[in-house]
A and B are shown apart, each in its own frame.
Chain A
């Protein structure tokens, strides 16, 4: 945007005084330096974790169960636990998130107070610290009304609550991106409101919705704080067998290894971090591909 304006001014008015140019030059450098700090930290983090963790990764590390001996410890139960959680989260957030987004975009009359409450509420929920959801999960899902115990289902439900606002917000954006002419065309041909949504609007917005869902799942499986409150309190050396099974997950296993004073365990934590990051990068790559490949330009 701005690139167009500056050259023109120079063409017309000639060069700025050299003191100006010097200060301008150093200002750009300052901004570029400020921008690069966060990127450098990210690079150092990845390199440092890679140096610590990559030598630890082996077939036995991936297939062994946690152990009191670093040399025998592995992450099989953490990986299966994370996969189970992903399953529960997907199962909960897809219908609930898409239905909420559809309601807010297609049905809600934004001038009504109850719709405004829902809307502001979702914005606020998106910024509630995840550990607060952990407290809610501990009080109402693990104990209290649902009393599910520290199980896969309780962990998955709690994580679903954490990411649900994000799914709704991205889902709304995807639905809003479908031009009104599609909806109007369907209605003009005699479709009912739901027929227009189900056969025209939803299919057109699926790539956008799917991108949001995948990104939410990748956020959910990296969440640690809520799982500390609702996850396994003890050492889990077995794979979950069902929704009512105790579990551990990659971020929990990482946290538990970081908390060990023994340096060997910290290296294992680095290795588990790499496995977690690889899963996240794969999920994100899928999301970006989906977005680029199927997104229609209207």
Chain B
């Protein structure tokens, strides 16, 4: 950040000290204000998100059927029943199980891809693999949902692996979300590995290390904060991923821990409830905001951690 200010600020002050103040022109100041307002819109968007979520969340908790302790600890989530129960635990648990499966899949794949691209791949291979990963990242998630439901569950899990899973199940959702976040983890981790100074590698080679030893014992530890940032960012994407879990994991809030069964995540609840025209002010409508608020908080915390870690490796090597 500091270097940006220096490079972009350099033209102004130095010219000013030599030639005196820059020419004035009507509108010049106006343009600066207009541009500032455009940039400030993003802050307004954030305020909009926070205010809309907290406002409705507060009215949600003001509802007599809802208590804060019941919300946080209750094991039943049936907001649209005539005798509604609002325990968010099944949704949080569904989210955690699916994110966990996704990370088990994506961490080795992401780090392996990053190490391969940064340490081993020839420029030609990189030129082929990187755009393909970008393509993977650009495929709409509804397409992955279709794939998980119509191919991965029946063909791979049921027929090939013989796992006896339900039509909707957390396992397929988790694995496909895992594949989905591989490009995220790989690209952040690869940036971090490429930023490791060449001198560290050469020092290790000089001591007789093989390339594998350099990768595993020098590059990966030196890039660890960047790799962590990638994993945390991947986790945040997995928590926020909606379409795959909505389509493939089912819409059944449950406290069952078996990923072969259907389960519902926080995002899937929001999607499933929001697709009908929920009346404003109904408890179901407010529940969308309460769950959305919890989701926003979780991803905000994960993103903040990730940004911290990225900053740390940038400070060390750049």
- Is there contact, CB below 8 Å, between B267 and A49? no
5 nearest A-B residue pairs (beta carbon) = A129-B240, A34-B112, A222-B140, A110-B5, A99-B38
- Can you report 15 A-B residue pairs in the complex whose CB atoms are below 8 A from each other? A24-B210, A28-B120, A35-B113, A48-B151, A99-B34, A100-B39, A105-B8, A118-B43, A127-B236, A128-B296, A134-B274, A136-B53, A222-B138, A251-B140, A280-B138
Contacting residues, chain B, for A24 (C-beta < 8 A): 210-212
**Interface residue? B304 (CB, 8 A):** yes
Q: Given A24-B210, A38-B179, A254-B142, check contact A125 B45 (CB 8 Å).
A: yes
**Binding site secondary structure of chain A:** helix
Q: Given A38-B179, A129-B239, A180-B10, check contact A107 B117 (CB 8 Å).
A: no
Q: Within the complex, which residue of A106, A117, A138, A195 is in contact with B274, where a contact is CB–CB below 8 Å?
A: A138
A168 to B39, CA, bound (A): 9
A277 to B186, CA, bound (A): 23
Question: Nearest Cβ in chain A — how far from B192, in angstroms?
Answer: 14
Contacting residues, chain A, for B302 (C-beta < 8 A): 127
**Interface residue? B60 (CB, 8 A):** no
A165 to B42, CA, bound (A): 8
Question: Nearest Cβ in chain A — how far from B128, in angstroms?
Answer: 9
Q: Within the complex, which residue of B116, B208, B212 is in contact with A23, where a contact is CB–CB below 8 Å?
A: B212
**Interface residue? A282 (CB, 8 A):** no
A20 to B208, CA, bound (A): 11
Q: Within the complex, which residue of B4, B179, B280 is in contact with A143, where a contact is CB–CB below 8 Å?
A: B280
Kindly identify, within residues 3 to 56 of chain A, every residue whose CB is under 8 Å from any CB belonging to chain B: 3, 5-6, 9, 13, 16, 20-21, 23-24, 27-28, 30-35, 37-39, 41-42, 44-45, 48-49, 52
**Interface residue? A276 (CB, 8 A):** yes
Question: Nearest Cβ in chain A — how far from B29, in angstroms?
Answer: 10
Contacting residues, chain A, for B42 (C-beta < 8 A): 100, 118, 121-122, 125, 164-165, 168
A276 to B243, CA, bound (A): 16
Q: Within the complex, which residue of A34, A129, A222 is in contact with B295, where a contact is CB–CB below 8 Å?
A: A129
Contacting residues, chain A, for B43 (C-beta < 8 A): 117-118, 121
Interface centre among A52, A131, A192, A270 (most CB of B within 10 A): A131
Contacting residues, chain A, for B233 (C-beta < 8 A): 127
**Interface residue? A79 (CB, 8 A):** no
The number of residues on chain A lying at the interface, defined by a beta carbon within 8 Å of a beta carbon of chain B, is 108
Binds A, one of B64-72, B74-82, B198-206: B198-206
- Is there contact, CB below 8 Å, between B48 and A184? no
Question: Nearest Cβ in chain B — how far from A8, in angstroms?
Answer: 8
- Is there contact, CB below 8 Å, between B112 and A35? yes
Interface centre among A16, A42, A180 (most CB of B within 10 A): A42
Besides the contacts A38-B186, A140-B48, what 6 more A-B pairs have beta carbons closer than 8 Å? A24-B211, A111-B5, A118-B42, A121-B46, A129-B267, A138-B288
